[in-house]
Amino acid sequence: MDQPQQPLRPKRRLVLVGLAAAGVAAIGRVAGARPRATHAMRRRDPDLGPKVLIFDPSMPPAAIQRRLDAVFRQQERAHFTDARYAILFKPGRYAVDVHVGFFTHVAGLGALPGGVTIDGHVHVEADWNKGMALVNFWRGVENMAVRPPDGADRWAVSQAAPYRRMHLHGDLALDDGGWSSGGFIADSRIEGVVRSGSQQQWFTRNSAMRAWHGANWNMTYMGVDGAPPTSFPEPPVTNLAIVPMVREKPFLFVDGAGEWRVFVPAFRAKSRGVSWAAGMPKGDAVPLSRFFIARPEMPARRINAALARGMHLLLTPGIYRLTEPLRIGRANTIVLGLGLATLLAEGGSKALTVADMPGVVVAGLLFDAGPVNSPVLMEVGPRGAARDHRGNPIALSDLFFRVGGATVGKATTCLEINSHHVVGDHLWIWRADHGDRASGRVHVGWAETTGDQGLVVNGNDVTLYALFVEHFQKYQTVWNGERGRTYFYQNELPYDPPSQAAYMAGNTRGWAAYKVADHVENHQAIALGVYSNFTADPSIVLESAIEAPRKPGVRFEHVTTISLGGGKGPIAHLVNEAGAAARPGAIRQTLVRYPAL
């Protein structure tokens, strides 16, 4: 992954003050004791499968800690494992340390973040990789309050590791002394200071903090109280006061009567700050009884039959091997994944399709390409979709796509958005640039792991926040729809084109990282970073990071290009013919706006 050009910082160790002693005391007090029965506990919990751990505050803290530690030991280095876990805390307080490893999703089950309080740390470290957090992917935490006893926590991650709906009573470090390439925070309040350290880029939305220290290549804030003001390009900060239109990710919670529900927040227009500042936000609390609870061993036809009956869908952790797609055909259907539930397309199938219906919500999933080429992994609306959804848009949250790495992967396109008025919130679309040597799962390479483009947008009025697309073999992102909006874009070009001749878009050197079609009249993108590192042939040149029609309604702001590895693989221009080359001796280039005023 990307490597920032700066010295490493010494790690500040998190000290778990008092937790070890508290755990020993707890063992002495309650070993062998039965937990007290509460009103909520008397109701039977849903069967969410063996990979979902559900904790109750009446359980002995030491017993909870042992289970947390066991999951972490298994997942700490499990970069390409098939194991998936969701760790859920019922409302109450817990004196535990939650160390979050790969493919682990941690969530509180309160209606508000303060409903679950962790008197300890909820953190990600990079000790397993000598402080390098560049590959600390595929994990997440949401919907809880954290009170670290030493006043500081750490979330040292890169892509696909959301920090959502959190209330941290302390400071937050986003690196671990080594390189890091993240990341995403949304709907969170951090009472202390956020220190981004070596993070190359970061997107923060609808949040509040005391202050933010640090900026390297692209730090973007939207609707965030306490964020630094716009100063791009030095320091490279973009601060937008409001978020035009967004729907927060749905979440599980247990109400005061012990009933399990899924809360689906309403859309917010022109918003700023956390959604829960004044209590429960607007939205719908849908009983879990209206959800079909899917297990990885279930065939797609059984899941599709439930969807056709009008059920919502909760996907429990694991790998769903699909020879036909899951089909979302009804308006306002909710699809929610736990524990990075993974849809693996087999036999050239699509993994998931959404009909051209309003109000559909799809959140919390990982899509994996199989060894037979799929034309597309996720399709939102069929091609030619024409319905107007502006009153009830389709929402996509925390969706991650992977081609290769763990297995041979082939997909022409990962995500194709054909419907109008779709809002996407945190997407990472990745053609693998590396595998796991320790486990022998290394499936990368120009011919073995193939993918033309990560994202194709054909629909009009599509808005995307925090879009990460990396390493595809042609255009990384193709935008054909009108009035598209992208707020924050991170792209790293493929490492492995074997030669310039193999990496030509017709007569043009290389394929742009962001391509807006010639016919488009109106498009806007703000805060874009494009990085090159052509290790297979450093003489390759990309003509332009962004290609777009030269029209007054097509605008770009705060664009950065970087030629990594000391200038391996120059990027000749930033947007069309504008901007200087990122090259040896001048590896970073910036453009404040295009076209220039």
What is the DSSP track for 237-288? EEEES-EEEEEPPPEEEE-TTS-EEEEEEPEEEEE-S-TTTTSSPSEEEEEG
Q: Could you tell me if 505 and 481 are in contact, meaning their C-beta atoms sit under 8 angstroms apart?
A: no
Give the DSSP H or E segment for 398: strand 394-403
Most distant CA atoms of the chain, gap in Å: 75
Count other C-beta atoms under 10 Å from residue 471's C-beta: 24
Give the DSSP H or E segment for 139: strand 139-146
Q: Could you tell me if 434 and 374 are in contact, meaning their C-beta atoms sit under 8 angstroms apart?
A: no
User: Residue with structure tokens 């901007």?
Assistant: 579
Count other C-beta atoms under 10 Å from residue 37's C-beta: 10
Q: Could you tell me if 244 and 226 are in contact, meaning their C-beta atoms sit under 8 angstroms apart?
A: no
Per-residue confidence (pLDDT) for residue 437, from 0 to 100:
77
Per the annotation, the verdict on 492 as an active-site residue is yes
Q: What three-state secondary structure class fits 24?
A: helix
Catalytic-role residue among 125, 248, 470, 492? 492
Count other C-beta atoms under 10 Å from residue 496's C-beta: 21
The pair of three-digit structure tokens given for residue 518, joined into one six-digit string: 């010639």
Per-residue confidence (pLDDT) for residue 436, from 0 to 100:
80
Per-residue confidence (pLDDT) for residue 21, from 0 to 100:
32
Those residues with Cβ within 8 angstroms of residue 454's Cβ, 6 or more apart along the chain or in another chain = 401, 413, 414, 415, 429, 430, 431, 469, 470, 472, 476, 477
Cα within 13 Å of Cα(430), Cβ side: 25
Backbone torsions φ then ψ of 61, nearest 5 degrees: -55, -35
Per-residue confidence (pLDDT) for residue 25, from 0 to 100:
29
Strand pairing report for 523-532 and 484-492 = parallel
Partners of residue 505 on adjacent β-strands: 508
The pair of three-digit structure tokens given for residue 177, joined into one six-digit string: 């002394």
Among candidate residues 157, 152, 187, 194, the one with its CA nearest the CA of residue 169: 152
Among candidate residues 587, 478, 463, the one with its CA nearest the CA of residue 532: 587
Distance CA 582, CA 569 (A): 9
The pair of three-digit structure tokens given for residue 169, joined into one six-digit string: 């009573």
Per-residue confidence (pLDDT) for residue 11, from 0 to 100:
54
| Cα separation values, 573 from 318, 379, 548, 562, Å | 43, 32, 12, 11
Q: Identify the segments of the chain with pLDDT beneath 50.
A: 2-10, 12-41
The pair of three-digit structure tokens given for residue 98, joined into one six-digit string: 């939650």
Distance CA 72, CA 149 (A): 21
